Amino acid sequence: MRIKPATARRIIKTRPFYLDLKPESPWDGFLGHFERNAERNDWAEYRFNSAPVLDRKQRQELLRSLAIFQRGETGEGRILKEIESVTYFPVDQSYRNALRLFVAEEGRHAGLLFQMIRSMGGQLTNSSGSFRLFYGFRGLLGVRFKLMVLLAAEIIGCECYDILGRYLKSCPAGKGLNRIQKDELAHLGFHCQFFHLLGRSWLKRKLYLSLYRFIAVCASITVMVEHRRTFRLCGLTTLDVAKRFRNRIRTGAQWIRNGVRLQECL
Ligand SMILES: [Fe+2]
Ligand SMILES: [Fe+2]
């Protein structure tokens, strides 16, 4: 049943037996998606019992890239504390709950990548150029800026996991990467919708779009340089990768401008 928030508040006030009624939130769809994902809990199904057939140099490059992506999936916890004190629209309790589940999902990606790397005899990394840039940028301003950097990271995740997943499609690692990529696409929609709702005036939307394009382009260039040998191993030239990032950044901009429903990013 769909009712207006004001009506819901009046009903709750005058008819306390309807305790289950609460105003609708713009985040109900994404929250439901994250809850279903958390309940699925099917990560144990991914067993990396056969490694891709690669020569030593290729394996090294692939493992180096996977370790950098694994590092990027960790350390989002601080934003959960900060979001608690944010009260402006579109942040509400449903958004906070969805963000909590989003962070947990990134943690599960980190765990899956860790198993993948270990099964191929690789090691984790503590830092990388893109990771330092990512954290340096993120610490600069408030919650909105941090969320914008997270949004740019989803552009990277969507493309890179897609490239690697397709390349490794014949082995379990490819299946795992494709699964992660699907989640990243929903993350991209989740963050784009946040900035769509946040930038309600023409000027604000323009501002958020410009900031988004700047950060996303910087992040893409850094990743293209840092992982160029891995992309080459996947049969892609720098120009191919640049085109893929450009298209994904355009999709993100469209979603920020027009808004995005969960169904569009599943
Ligand atoms: Fe992730
Ligand atoms: Fe993500």
- Left if phi > 0, otherwise alpha if psi is -120 to 50, otherwise beta: which for 213? alpha
For ion ligand 2, residues whose CB falls within 5 Å: 154, 157, 184, 187
Mean model confidence pLDDT for the chain: 90
Q: Measure 185 CA to ligand 2 centroid, in angstroms.
A: 8
Q: What's the rounded Cα separation, in Å, for the pair 62 and 165?
A: 12
Q: Measure 160 CA to ligand 2 centroid, in angstroms.
A: 12
Residue 138 token pair: 């993120």
- Hey, what domains does the chain have and what are their CATH numbers? 26-265 (1.10.620.20)
**Lowest-confidence range among 40-44, 61-65, 115-119, 255-259?**
40-44
Please state the rounded mean pLDDT for residues 14-39. 82
Listed in sequence order, the residues at least 6 apart from 192 whose beta carbon sits closer than 8 Å to its beta carbon are 151, 252, 255, 256, 260
**Lowest-confidence range among 22-31, 61-70, 178-187?**
22-31
